[in-house]
Amino acid sequence: MAKPITIKDVKIILTQPAGSRLVIVKVITSEPGLYGLGCATFTQRFHAVVAAIERHLKPFAIGRDVSRIEEFWQMAHVHSYWLNGPVLNNAISGIDQALWDIKGKLANMPVYDLLGGKCREGAAVYRHAGGPTPEAVLESVQKFIDQGVHHIRVQMGGYGGKADSLPKPEGAPDGAYYNPREYARRQLKMIDYVRSHVGDDIELLHDVHERLQPIDAVRFAKDLEPYNLFFLEDLLAPEHINWFRDVRNHCTTRLSMGELFNSPLEWKAVVEEHLIDYIRMHVSQMGGITPARAVALFANIYGVHTAWHGPGDTSPIGHAANVHLDLWAPNFGIQEWCGFPEHVYEMFPGLPELRNGYLYPSDKPGLGIDIDETLAAKYPVTDTIEKWTQTRWPDGTPWTP
Interior angle at CA 10, CA 74 and CA 376, nearest 5: 125
179: left (phi over 0), alpha (psi -120 to 50) or beta: beta
Neighbours of 268 (CB within 10 A): 13
Element (H, E) at 358: strand 358-360
DSSP-derived letter for residue 173 is P
Q: Which of 94, 75, 357, 77 is nearest to 203 (CA)?
A: 357
Element (H, E) at 146: helix 134-146
How far is it, in rounded angstroms, from Cα 286 to Cα 291? 7
How far is it, in rounded angstroms, from Cα 258 to Cα 286? 10
Q: What letters, b where the CB count within 10 A reaches 16 and e where it falls short, cover 73-104?
A: beebbeebeeebebbbbbbbbbbbbbbbbbbb
Which regions of 240-289 does DSSP assign to beta strands (E)? 255-257, 278-279
Interior angle at CA 226, CA 223 and CA 232, nearest 5: 65
How far is it, in rounded angstroms, from Cα 187 to Cα 204? 13
φ/ψ (deg, to 5) at 330 = -65, -25
How far is it, in rounded angstroms, from Cα 274 to Cα 278? 10
Residue 24's DSSP bridge partners are 13, 39
Neighbours of 132 (CB within 10 A): 12
Which alpha helices (H) appear in 273-379, and where do they start and end?
289-301, 316-328, 342-347, 373-376
How many C-alpha atoms does 221 have within 13 Å on its Cβ side?
Answer: 32
Any idea which residues carry the catalytic annotation?
159, 209
Residue 195's DSSP bridge partners are none
